[in-house]
Amino acid sequence: MNKISDNRAWWLVLPVFLLVAFSALIPLMTVVNYSVQDIFGPGQAYYVGTEWFKEVLTDQRLRDSLIRQFAFSGAVLAIQIPLGIGVALMMPKSGVKGSLCLILVAIPLLIPWNVVGTIWQIFARGDIGLFGWAINQMGMDYNYTGDTLDAWLTVLLMDVWHWTPLVALLCYSGLRAIPEAFYQAAEIDRASKWAVFRYIQLPRLKSVLIIAVLLRFMDSFMIYIEPFVLTGGGPGSSTTFLSQTLTTMAIGQFDLGRAAAFSLIYFLIVLLISWLFFTAITHADKEK
Amino acid sequence: MRQTRSKNIGITIYILLLLTPVYWLLNMSFKTSREILGGLTLWPQNFTFDNYTVIFTDPSWYNGYLNSMAYVSINVVITLLVALPAAYAFSRYKFLGDKHLFFWLLSNRMAPPAVFLLPFFQLYSSIGLFDTHIAVALAHCLFNVPLAVWILEGFMKGVPREYDEMAYIDGYSFPRFFIKVFLPMIRSGIGVTAFFAFMFSWVELLLARTLTSVDAQPIGAIMTRTIGASGIDWGVLAAAGVLTIIPGLLVIWFVRNHVAKGFALGRV
């Protein structure tokens, strides 16, 4: 649809703009303010300039949690996106069965995040949890509170369980939007299943996949509550992701300046990656 | 035909795996504490509703649900009220900075919540909204409004502009056209948006917990509080967890036929 150019449309956007600006810009400015000061308590703050930023860039603990974070987000995307597409392809197209599948698949999304953590905390326990018990029965030594690798895999599995449904729902809605004529044409051409997927379904899924990748990247990058409830960041600091390091720093140790400086850097990293991804995709579109 | 059958088997296996942890929670909510800690049982041996009775008779428990419901409903209303006109503007007009504005809206989802909690707390305390439902509802708009604008815009794009023009020729004023003609046409879009706003507000805990202390405390926070006191009553905790799933199920039931349309139409 060709749109009319009219700057008066801003009046319609204004409420959204004001509301989001109120909740976003004021806290952001406060964080910027923290990041250039050394704060000891109420009324005791000293301007330190860019010192926190310099310190943060060389901080080993933060660098470690950043690396863990990238590994985690990468693993999350690598598993959830293909799995979500697969699930969406398998879901019945319509009818009662379709609706039923939709509702059942959506269940993990409707559970508050701390409850998700609680569910897995119990479910993965070796003594009273079905999952932990089953793994132990199979003769594998599994203990997510003691073993680093087990803890990591449990957090990953929990995230896959929790969020693959979102990718699946997005892809499902993308698939439903493909006109039947496309499939009929493919049938006449005797296209293989793979060709139908590669040349009809995948290109048509692109727009929802972009959103799915963006949402999953952003949300997995700031995952906090679920691993916090499940493992508390342990054992050691193996599942302490960025948000948790920052929260401990800001609230636990009241090291506001440093935490603020790092969250700004962290915000910029996420923003940069998302923006690069976003523009790369839209540019590729224009060239076609 | 074989294709369909293997697909059916695949999706059945996936859903079974998906539901196992939920079943485990349900299973536990009907057990006594002694049975839970005593060993592994695949279904409740001494079936009991005690855990649920605790929740429905103790105000400090069921108030949590009422609080959560209250701020989620306020949030859905605010989100829809501001997002509807904005989505209309995005779907019909080009204006200065429209693309950047959209990315900026989306970028608010990327802010690390952990460190923004303290500023949020200070902001809402300073305007006297701390520990009220409206504070949480407003804070949740941060991530719900951008999403709502995005979903609604997709649905609005599906309505040809000829309707707008025809209503204008017939002498409808803009507000009258918007409410009487336009909104009924995108009913399903509004339903889907309401569902997603509900869902994200319902599951969020970090902001909700920070901005409340007693009067508006969400159920999630009450659950974590219970963990601290005198050991963990797993049975009650499980029952509380089960009850948090039900409102979402009800809402998705109402919009089940429209959800699939929701995202496919959206802009990127």
Mutate to test the interface with B, among A11, A13, A101 (most CBs of B within 10 A): A13
Residue B118's region, left for phi above 0, alpha for psi from -120 to 50, else beta, is alpha
**Tokens standing for A183?**
């499939």
What are the structural domains of chain B?
Answer: 1-48 (no CATH), 59-264 (1.10.3720.10)
What sign for the dihedral angle of Cα B184, B187, B189, B193? positive
Partner B, chain A 186-205, Cβ-Cβ below 8 Å: 193
Distance from CA of A148 to the nearest CA of B (A): 22
Partner B, chain A 38-77, Cβ-Cβ below 8 Å: none
- Cα–Cα distance for residue pair A24/B138, rounded to 1 Å: 11
Q: Do B260 and A102 touch (CB under 8 A)?
A: yes
Residue B268 has pLDDT above 70, yes or no: no
**Tokens standing for B66?**
């009422």
DSSP letters, B20-68, are HHHHHHHHHHTS-HHHHHH---SS-SS---HHHHHHHH-HHHHHHHHHH
Q: Give the tens place of pLDDT for each residue, B100-150.
A: 887 788 777 777 666 677 788 888 888 888 888 999 998 888 888 988 888
Mutate to test the interface with B, among A12, A161, A277 (most CBs of B within 10 A): A12
Partner B, chain A 242-261, Cβ-Cβ below 8 Å: 242-244, 246-247, 250-251, 256, 259-260
**Tokens standing for A61?**
């603990």
Range of the domain at A184: 46-287
Which backbone phi and psi does B47 adopt, to 5 degrees?
Answer: -60, 125
Q: Is there a domain that residue A278 lies in?
A: yes
DSSP letters, A212-250, are HHHHHHHHHHT--HHHHHHTTT-STTTT--HHHHHHIII
Distance from CA of B67 to the nearest CA of A (A): 14
Q: Give the tens place of pLDDT for each residue, B17-48.
A: 999 899 988 888 888 877 777 777 777 887 88
Mutate to test the interface with B, among A23, A123, A283 (most CBs of B within 10 A): A23
Q: A19: which strand partners?
A: none
pLDDT score for A43: 64
| Per-residue confidence band for B78, with pLDDT thresholds at 50, 70 and 90 | very high
* Cross-chain CB nearest to B199 (options A109, A224, A256): A109
Chain A residues near residue B40 by CB distance under 8 angstroms: 127-128, 130, 133
Residue A136 has pLDDT above 80, yes or no: yes
Q: Do B114 and A244 touch (CB under 8 A)?
A: yes
pLDDT score for B81: 93
pLDDT score for A227: 81
Q: Is there a domain that residue A193 lies in?
A: yes
Q: What CATH number does the domain containing A81 carry?
A: 1.10.3720.10
Q: Is there a domain that residue A95 lies in?
A: yes
Side-chain-facing half-sphere of B134: CA atoms under 13 Å = 5
A96 touches chain B (CB under 8 A): no
ipTM of this complex > 0.95?
no
Contact A260, A51 (CB under 8 A): no
A87 touches chain B (CB under 8 A): yes
Cα separations (Å) of B195 from A106, A169, B108, B268? 12, 13, 20, 21
CA dihedral A174, A175, A178, A181 (to 10 degrees): 180
Structural domain count of chain A: 1
Q: Is there a domain that residue A217 lies in?
A: yes
* Residue in chain A nearest B35 by alpha carbon: A128
- Higher-pLDDT residue of A218 and B18 is B18
* Residue in chain B nearest A5 by alpha carbon: B94
pLDDT score for B231: 63
Across the A:B interface, residue pairs with CB atoms under 8 Å apart total: 291
Classify residue B133 as exposed, middle or buried by CB count within 10 Å of its CB (0-12, 13-18, 19+): buried
